[in-house]
Amino acid sequence: MHPAPSVIIFTVLSGLGLGMLAFLGIGVLDVQGVAAFMPFAIAFTFTITGLIASTFHLDNPQRAWRAFSQWKTSWLSREAWLSAATLSVMGIFAINNIFRGITISVLGWLGAGLAMATVVSTAMIYTQLKTVPRWNHWITPIHMLTLSLAGGAILMQHTSAALVLLTCAGLAQLAHWRIGDRQFAARGHSMETATGLGDRGSVRMFEPPHTGSNYLLKEMVYVVGRRHALKLRCIAFVTIVLLPFLIVVALPGGTLTTCFAITIFGLGTFTSRWLFFAEAEHVVALYYGKRDG
């Protein structure tokens, strides 16, 4: 799948912001008034920047409001509702915290739940697609949720939570790669099933339908990243798990350490998310005989 920058920025940044909002909601940081302003500002900035980036993926964003209409069937529509609900509930929670100095914990817990539900709904947009076997597995939401929470814990400067969640995110990342690598073959999709001609023999491409490229090939048969996938996986794993873990453990806590840790973690998450798309193979590649790249 084509790794579109808008979607990568959207999922990574909103993931970080929503992870932090969840921690703020459950009251990990027990501060009111002016002291509460910065944490909320950071969490909202990440989340909203991510959500704005997502609209750059749309060719007709002026109609984006329509995306609220199909929540009964569409995960993308549910995500729109959940993100709007999270921002509203956490917005009220934050205003009460900052300007009135009171913590309405019921609202906070509700906001935290909504924030996590938003991350899951984002993941479900990918997980639901049977056409992309690598994504079509329950490990995908766990992978995105653990990354979101680990990022949130780093931003909250909560060392013990960060260490536990970084470990979980690392394990989920490894599981996502390991399971994902086997998914396409496990589903049994082949040029023979795609064309229905498998009972006669083996099928190979004789002539593609067009000499140039097309939307399908550009969007769903992206093969550029495959050559360096292993190196990028190593880079992603080191920067998502190992380096942030060492930074959080070894360096003295403080704003500078947090900035350093989240930058490294963010770069790792961007690499991981780029691979998430670039390595994902869509079954339509079979019709073009491009499965093996």
User: What is the closest distance, in whole angstroms, from the C-beta atom of residue 51 to another protein in the complex?
Assistant: 14
Choose which of 41, 197, 249, 256 interacts with another protein (CB under 8 A).
Answer: 197
User: What is the closest distance, in whole angstroms, from the C-beta atom of residue 275 to another protein in the complex?
Assistant: 18
DSSP code per residue over 26-67: TTSS---GGGGHHHHHHHHHHHHHHHHHHHTT-S-GGGGGGG
111 is written with which tokens? Answer: 């906001």
Span from 36-44, 99-107, 143-151, 217-225 in contact with another protein (CB under 8 A): 217-225
User: With binding defined as CB under 8 A, does residue 27 bind another protein?
Assistant: no
112 is written with which tokens? Answer: 């935290």
Rounded distance, CA 46 to CA 65, Å?
21
Tokens 């302003």, residue located = 37
Which x/- pattern, by CB under 8 A, does the window 107-126 give for another protein? ------------------x-
User: With binding defined as CB under 8 A, does residue 227 bind another protein?
Assistant: no
Torsion of CA 136, 271, 163, 140, to 10 degrees: 0
Nearer to another protein, 196 or 252 (CB): 196
Choose which of 33, 214, 228, 263 interacts with another protein (CB under 8 A).
Answer: 214
DSSP code per residue over 76-102: HHHHHHHHHHHHHHHHHHHHIIIII--
Choose which of 38, 88, 105, 219 interacts with another protein (CB under 8 A).
Answer: 219
Cα distances from 206 to residues 48, 210, 220, 283, 289, in angstroms, run 48, 12, 21, 18, 9
Q: Which of positions 52-81 make contact with another protein (CB under 8 A)?
A: 57-61, 63-64, 66-67, 69-70, 72-77, 80
Span from 43-51, 89-97, 151-159, 214-222 in contact with another protein (CB under 8 A): 214-222
For helices 159-187 and 139-155, what crossing angle results, to 10°? 160
Residue ranges in contact with another protein by CB under 8 A: 1, 57-61, 63-64, 66-67, 69-70, 72-77, 80, 125, 128-132, 187-189, 191, 193-197, 200-210, 212-216, 218-220, 282-284, 287-288
